Every structure is written in structure tokens, then in C-alpha cells.
Amino acid sequence: MTAQTPPTETERLPADAAGLDRAAALLGAGGLVAIPTETVYGLAVDAGDDAAVARLYQAKGRPAFNPLIVHVADAEQARALVEMPPDAARLAQAVWPGALTLVLPIRPDAGVSPLVTAGLETLGVRVPAHPVARDLLRRTGPLAAPSANPSGQVSPTTPAHVLAGLSGRIAAVLDGGPCTVGVESTIVGFLPDPVLLRAGGIPAETLEAALGAPLSEAGAEGQPAAPGQLASHYAPRGSLRLNATGAEPGEVLLGFGPVAGDLTLSARGDLVEAAATLFARLHDLNAMAADRIAVAPVPETGLGRAINDRLRRAAAPR
Ligand code: TXA
Ligand code: MG
């Protein structure tokens, strides 16, 4: 019933002009390409392409839509995506290009898929220091990239690691050699004061020196600072009833596959399409002023787990 992405032969691309051109072409066509950064290999997609981001979650087997880091070629590209308060600009100036991700308010015209932010109003951005990554980013524009490993497994620091986990599930790996940093980027959020969200490749002391002030620390590593945000933001204004096979009087039915609905996540029951359209459909329901929403069952397999996780959060009492 659900279309699976057919296995692909994963290309291993050298980091020369031809390899970079090929990687850029694959990414431009919505492909998934593992790219070297100085921290770990990232699994990159065009940050504005909903369907490509959905396929990325599928390839990684991520059970939930965790927000993704967007990689850009320089600070100017970052400023086109996010608001940069003075403390953030200070950190960017001191560390970029480098292993620092800044979580900042996203601009309304950023052109980033809502699947990248998992519905948050903030976006994690960084300028990687790896010369191959920067060359590629100048050709492609912003790329969303989590670490290039299946969900729950160790982050890859060589092309061989990437292939061990994802061969046949991604279009290509761009070979930039082993990663020099080897641990993920340090993540700093702003509430509005700078907060360390994840320890990583840049020591907190370096950041504190640039800020001229101590950094406070958030709770769980790399988790959104206020987990409640995930539950409420992008939840439609109406209430949700899940696993509905039909609408009760007064309900608007969001369909999937054989459950047609007033509107649908995917008429053909395709989980990739459903993930790519999920946030747009929730927006549509708001535009329709639906206050009672019934949602068709979505299978709890593959991307369906992430979709259901998101729907359960949206259905949670607020
Ligand atoms: O070094 C790195 O950061 C690597 C390379 C590829 O750049 N990427 C990486 O991505 O480690 P990933 O997806 O494995 O981890 C991203 C972390 C997640 O823990 C996520 O929760 C957090 O960043 N994150 C991203 N956007 C966020 C946001 N808007 N608010 C809070 N946390 C965010
Ligand atoms: Mg990771």
C-alpha cells in the first residue's frame, strides 16, 4: 500500500570539479547526498525541497521530525535565513566557518521547508569549515543535513562509515576524506541570552571568550530548549481525532490512502508524499477554520512513525 523508495546504487564521488558538479546536480534534483564536513559527514538535501527532506527522514529511519541543521556557504547566506542578534553575530564572527550551530529566529521568507524546523520558529544554521562542503554550498545554496547515519547509530566520520549505514538508500557520498573534528557541532540557542544546547566541536570557553560572558546550559543535549514548543507549534487550531475511518458530523476529515477525506496527506497512500505535505495540510486546516479534525490512520512503519509522532503531538491536549 505504501510506495517504498527503490534501492539506488550509491555513487562515490571524488571531491574534484566533476564530483562537485555531480553532487550539486543530484541535490538540485531532490537527491540525498552525504557530504563531508569538518565535524561528521552530513546527509544533505536542498533545504527548500519538502519531498527531499521527507525522503531524508525516511532514509535515516528517524522516528520523529527532529529539527535539522541548515548548512550555508557564509554568514551572509545565514543572514538571509535567520535574524542575527549582536551576540549571535559575535559568535559567528569568532568561529565561522567552524563547528558551531546557531539556533535563531527563522525569517518568514527563508524558503526553508517546515519539515526542516519540525515546525519550530527557530532554525539551526552553520557555516562548515570543510573546503569541499563550502565549495559545494556555493554551488547549491542552503543544504539541510543531519549526521549521515541511520537513526540511533554512531555518526560517520569517513565515506566508508556512511556507506556501511546508508549504501543503497542515498544517491551519493562525496568523498572529502576523514573528518578532522569528528564530533558534532556545538549548538547555541538564544532565549534571548545565549544558551548552550549541545556541547560539541567548539569548546564553550571559546564561545565565552568571544561573548565576554558565561554561557548558560540547557537541559537535554541538542533537544529543543522548550520541548513544549514542538507539541504546540504547527498544531492546527482545531482539535484532532486520530485513526478515524470517517468523519463524524461537524468534523473535517484529513485522509490518507483509501480514506479519501476532505483533503488528504496522500491519496495514493505514499508515506514520502504524506510527510512532505503534512505541515502544508495542517496549515490548510487552519485556513479552513476547521475546529474538529478527524485524521485517517497512517501506518506505523517507516516515515509513518515520524508522521504519527507529529500527529500525536498535534493531538495532545494543550
Ligand atoms: O556537526 C554537526 O552539527 C553535524 C554536521 C553534519 O553538520 N550535524 C548534526 O546534525 O549533528 P544532527 O541532526 O545529528 O543533530 C542536530 C541537532 C539535533 O539534536 C536537533 O535537535 C538540534 O540540532 N537542532 C536543530 N535545529 C534546532 C532548533 N531549531 N532548536 C533546537 N535544536 C535544534
Ligand atoms: Mg546525529
pTM score: 0.83
- Looking at the predicted structure, is the pLDDT value of residue 310 above 70? yes
15 neighbors 36 (Cβ within 8 angstroms):
yes
Q: Does the Cβ of 298 fall within 6 Å of ligand 1?
A: no
Helix (H) or strand (E) holding 293: strand 292-295
**3-state secondary structure at position 253:** strand
Name the residue at shortest CA distance from atom 23 of ligand 1.
222
Quote the ligand 2 centre to 53 CA distance (angstroms): 15
Residue 229 has pLDDT above 70, yes or no: no
* Residue of the CA atom closest to atom 19 of ligand 1: 222
Atom of ligand 1 nearest to the CA of 42: 6
For the chain, the 3-state helix, strand and coil shares in percent, each to the nearest 5, are: 35, 20, 50
The ligand 1 atom at the shortest distance from the C-alpha of residue 225 is 31
Tell me how far apart the alpha carbons of residues 274 and 207 are, in angstroms, rounded to a whole number: 40
**Coil/strand/helix, residue 183:** coil
Instruction: Write down the pLDDT at residue 108.
Output: 93
Least reliable range by pLDDT among 156-165, 180-189, 267-276, 277-286? 277-286
Nearest protein Cα to ligand 1, atom 6: 42
Q: How far is the CA of 261 from the centre of ligand 1 (A)?
A: 35
Shortest-distance ligand to the CA of residue 70: 1
Q: Whose CA is nearest to atom 30 of ligand 1?
A: 224
SS3 287: helix
Q: Is the CB of 244 under 6 A from ligand 1?
A: no
Q: What does the pLDDT read at residue 6?
A: 60
CA-to-CA distance for 116 and 276, rounded, in angstroms? 11
Angle between helices 204-211 and 86-95 (to 10 degrees): 120
8 A C-beta contact, residue 272 and residue 3: yes
Q: What is the whole-number distance in angstroms between the Cα of residue 60 and the centre of ligand 2?
A: 10
Q: Which amino acid is at 221?
A: E
Q: What is the pLDDT of residues 72-83, one digit of tens each?
A: 999 999 999 999
Show me where the domains of the chain are located: 11-217, 239-315
CA proximity to 129, closest of 20, 34, 39, 199: 39
pLDDT in tens, 134-147: 999 999 999 999 99
Distance 115 CA to ligand 2 centre (A): 16
Query: Which ligand is in closest contact with the Cα of 104?
Result: 1
CB distance 222 to ligand 1 below 6 Å: yes
Which ligand lies nearest the alpha carbon of 185? 1
Q: What is the CATH number of domain 11-217?
A: 3.90.870.10
Residue 308 has pLDDT above 90, yes or no: no
Q: In what order do the strands lie in the sheet with 292-295?
A: 239-241, 292-295, 252-255, 263-264
Q: What is the pLDDT of residues 44-72, one digit of tens each?
A: 999 999 999 999 999 998 777 789 999 99
Terminal C-alpha separation, the chain: 33
CA 123 to ligand 1: nearest atom: 29
Residue 252 and residue 292 in contact, taking contact as beta carbons nearer than 8 Å: yes
Question: What is the pLDDT at residue 235?
Answer: 67
Nearest ligand 1 atom to the CA of 198 is 19
Q: Which is the closest atom of ligand 1 to the Cα of 101? A: 3
- Give the Å distance between the CA of 127 and the centre of ligand 1: 13
Q: Ligand 1 center to residue 267 CA distance, Å?
A: 32
Q: Would you say the CB of residue 49 lies under 6 angstroms from ligand 1?
A: no
Nearest ligand to the C-alpha of residue 154?
Answer: 2
For ligand 1, what atom is nearest to the CA of residue 221? Answer: 19
Top-confidence residue, 225 or 148: 148
> C-alpha cell of 104?
535563531
